[in-house]
Amino acid sequence: MFPVHRPRRLRKDDTIRRMVRETSLSPADFIYPLFVAEKKKGYREEISSMPGCYQESVDRAVKHAKEVHSLGIPAVLLFGIPKHKDAEGSSAWDPKGAVQQAIKGIKDAVPELYVITDVCMCEYTDHGHCGVIEGGQVLNDPTLELLSKEALSHARAGADMVAPSDMMDGRIEIIRDTLDEEGFTELPIMSYAVKYASAFFGPFREAAESTPQFGDRRSYQMDPANRREALKEVALDVEEGADIVMVKPALSYLDIISDVKNEFDLPVAAYNVSGEYSMVKAAGKMGWIDEEKVMMEILTSIKRAGADIILTYHAKEAAKLLGA
């Protein structure tokens, strides 16, 4: 009781605060997303709703990957923007596609950098949905074959890990089976196991050119109101062979990250998504917040909630601060 117990004793100065700090961030915690476009060499265009992020041609993405590696960030996540889109998203498994070429280019230029690929159809379909459409509905089982073809094409190009983000039921199992049958038994899968139908994805739609041409994604992405369902989704993906599970988005779902971390004994990733990033950037630009401090507070909160890995567009800025 007071005055014996004085918690402020351990807050007196920065040295003691650092000594007793329970949660710490490192550049090694981060994965940095890259948007690779099928464009001519030298192409680079800033995404208007995501300041500091770009659509880039393969050569520019390779150069960018070198910068990421130089900051101590261990991995990148690749999204592709193809020239050609069709109903089934056939560019997704094109061996000459932007992602497949970027994998090869990055692994040649920076072999130590871990290359992860997003596996989904939405960037490649002309309707913007994550699977095969029939009668205005996204069909689950026919989509699985396409996802497995995309994942296999990434594996053949040299990806270190694949990350299915589509939220089709059973996709981890079919991708695992396909990879194993083709000799990629050592290639891990990071599952977007808990992906909510979130309004925070808005700026990403511009970045990946993946806005649905009709309807929305609520028939396959999770209801933001549901908590227990997240554990069911993770359990299914773990049973099917996922090596890492992800919660997306992160900031509004810290409780879910904590639940998953407490329930499952495998690495947990969390995606600090585009809308979360853009809000910080916009408020910082207006002078309403201290952008750097808010950024670091958000990333710390995601780590504190239980994330072992944080996918974030802030990765480079945060790494520079952490390395200062």
The token pair at 258 is 């904590």
pTM: 0.95
Q: What CATH number is given for 25-323 in this structure? A: 3.20.20.70
Catalytically annotated residues: 195, 248
The model's pLDDT over 60-90, given as tens digits with 9 standing for 90+, comes to 999 999 999 999 999 999 999 999 899 888 9
The answer to whether the beta carbons of residues 49 and 203 sit under 8 Å apart is: yes
Q: What pLDDT shows up at residue 324?
A: 56
What are the domain boundaries of the chain?
25-323
The model's pLDDT over 280-299, given as tens digits with 9 standing for 90+, comes to 999 999 999 999 999 999 99
Average pLDDT on 250-260 reads 98
pLDDT of 270 over the 60 cut? yes
pLDDT of 208 over the 70 cut? no
Average pLDDT on 82-107 reads 94
Average pLDDT on 105-119 reads 98
